[in-house]
Amino acid sequence: MADGDPSALDDPVALARTLVRIDSVTPDKGEAIDQVAAWLGELGAHLWHIEEAGARVPNLIARLGRGGPRLAFAGHTDVVPPGDPGLWSHPPFSGAIADGKLFGRGACDMKGGLACAIAAAARAEIPGEVWFYVTGDEEGPARHGTAAIVRWLAAHGLGFDGCIVAEPTSGAAVGDTLKVGRRGSLNARLTVTGSQGHTAFPHQADNPVHRLAAIVHELATAPLDAGTARFEPSTLQVSSFDVGNPATNVIPAQARAALNLRFNTEHTAASLEGWLGAVAERHAPGRARVEIVDVSDAFLADAPAFQRCVADAVATTLARSPQASTSGGTSDARFLKDLGPVVELGTVGHSLHRIDEWVGLAELAELTRVFTAVIESFREPA
């Protein structure tokens, strides 16, 4: 391992720094996954490399220990593109350390959290089994990442008694927030077809831009709900509005928009699709088409015993009381929830996807202590 004793697998900073130095822009081509596999193999883990036919997405399942309650850690090694490297204070894959911070793409999201889980497994006395589910495809389409891991586990009759997704979910300090569910996410394309014509003779044409603008205005301004006791209000954002018309004197034939909805348990994909279609039809009868690109439903994890176990570990090690939350975007917990109790806990999400992404060295130390405490205290929830 770079920058230290190759056997120092209990050092989260050294592990995170090594991972950050690997360019694994989504999907991970395999180098970062292989590095994780090498470390877990050195700890004595049994390894399974999972890659679905034709997908070319590397995934790793690892098991430490044999028999007893199954505790799992889930994470991803792929990262979003760094953008213009010239805008970074330190090269995005240098793993630079300065001012108590580790800089680099993925330091915060989420190679730091994954490093903490590995370091904790190296430190802990494991009472049962500790599993790792690591994918190289979370920041991308995610169709053959953790979803593939879950399909493999289900096919082999394997679940878990508790799983921590080590995403950077903390707010101001490590352990102050425990994600116990997530809003759903729906991406849709909206296309309105009109009749092309000359802008000087609008009565001889049908302008789809005007119709699409009216549709988008209603969708963006109509409140979907007021939120629930556990979820924020649902929201819709227009992420793209395209006509592709280079001429100023031509009414175009088509106009398109891309929509993203973040929704709570008051809605389903089917109900939202129906709402989008009804609004579109009202403003562009017979001329609008709604296409659902991808969707993941909202969920709330009903796992009080496991949530209490993790919260107790935070309280014991850091003297903090995590607040249950369902805010933010979506995560791979949406796949894992079907196999057992899941929570999300990681470093502070201060810089994910930003220029000069970083994680605090103190954050890595604190999260490793929490994960170690969870491993050593974990018993199968009643």
Q: What are residue 62's DSSP bridge partners?
A: 47, 132
Asked whether residue 281 carries a pLDDT value surpassing 60, the answer given is yes
Which among 149, 239, 147 is positioned nearest to 187, based on CA atoms? 239
| pLDDT tens profile 110-154 | 999 999 999 999 999 999 999 999 999 999 889 999 999 999 999
pTM, two decimal places: 0.89
Who has greater pLDDT, 67 or 382? 67
Tokens found for residue 93: 């894959």
DSSP class of residue 148?
A: H
Q: Which residues 6+ apart lie within 8 Å of 347 measured at CB? A: 108, 110, 112, 113, 116, 168, 170, 174, 359, 360, 363, 364, 367
Would you state the pLDDT for residue 50?
95
Q: What are residue 344's DSSP bridge partners?
A: 165, 179
Q: Which residues 6+ apart lie within 8 Å of 37 measured at CB? A: 47, 49, 60, 62
Give the position of tokens 């609004």: 279
In the chain, the domains with their CATH numbers are: 12-182+298-377 (3.40.630.10), 184-296 (3.30.70.360)
Beta pairing, strands 184-193 & 129-135: unpaired
Residue type, 91: P
Would you state the pLDDT for residue 326?
94
Asked whether residue 34 carries a pLDDT value surpassing 60, the answer given is yes
Would you state the pLDDT for residue 152?
97
Side by side, the strands of the sheet bearing 358-360 are: 97-98, 101-103, 358-360
Query: How far, in Å, CA of 298 to CA of 195, rounded?
Result: 39
Task: Say which range, 2-16, 100-114, 262-276, has the weakest mean pLDDT.
Answer: 2-16
Let me know the angle formed at the C-alpha of 83 by 81 and 85, rounded to the nearest 5 degrees: 115
Would you state the pLDDT for residue 380?
67
Active site includes 332?
A: no
Would you state the pLDDT for residue 2?
42
Query: How far, in Å, CA of 319 to CA of 147, rounded?
Result: 35
Task: Say which range, 139-143, 281-285, 370-374, has the weakest mean pLDDT.
Answer: 139-143
What sign does the dihedral 4-8-11-15 (CA atoms) show? positive
Task: Say which range, 13-22, 34-43, 272-281, 373-382, has the weakest mean pLDDT.
Answer: 373-382
| pLDDT tens profile 47-78 | 999 999 988 899 999 999 999 999 999 999 99
> Percent of the chain having pLDDT more than 70?
97
Would you state the pLDDT for residue 302?
83
| pLDDT tens profile 170-222 | 999 999 999 999 999 999 999 999 999 999 999 999 999 999 999 999 999 99
3 state SS of 286: coil
**Catalytic one among 11, 28, 78, 137?**
78
Which among 58, 36, 38 is positioned nearest to 49, based on CA atoms? 58
Mean pLDDT of 9-31: 97
Asked whether residue 35 carries a pLDDT value surpassing 70, the answer given is yes
3 state SS of 196: coil
| pLDDT tens profile 228-245 | 999 999 999 999 999 999
Query: How far, in Å, CA of 13 to CA of 119, rounded?
Result: 9
> pLDDT band at 301, cuts 50/70/90?
confident
- Show the DSSP H helices in the chain as ranges: 12-20, 31-42, 112-123, 146-155, 208-221, 269-283, 304-318, 333-336, 361-377
> Percent of the chain having pLDDT more than 90?
93
- Show the DSSP H helices in 29-145 as ranges: 31-42, 112-123
Tokens found for residue 291: 């296409």
Would you state the pLDDT for residue 21?
98
Q: Which residues 6+ apart lie within 8 Å of 105 measured at CB? A: 20, 25, 79, 80, 81, 82, 92, 93, 357
> pLDDT band at 329, cuts 50/70/90?
confident
Would you state the pLDDT for residue 68?
93
Who has greater pLDDT, 5 or 46? 46
Q: Provide the b/e sequence for 10-26 (b: ≥16 CB within 10 Å).
A: bbbbbbbbbbbbbbbbb
**Catalytic one among 28, 109, 137, 138?**
138
Would you state the pLDDT for residue 4?
40
Would you state the pLDDT for residue 6?
42
Would you state the pLDDT for residue 1?
46
Query: How far, in Å, CA of 308 to CA of 129, rounded?
Result: 19
Active site includes 273?
A: no
DSSP class of residue 172?
A: S
Residue type, 177: T
Asked whether residue 328 carries a pLDDT value surpassing 90, the answer given is no
Mean pLDDT of 361-380: 96
Task: Say which range, 77-81, 138-142, 313-317, 348-352, has the weakest mean pLDDT.
Answer: 138-142
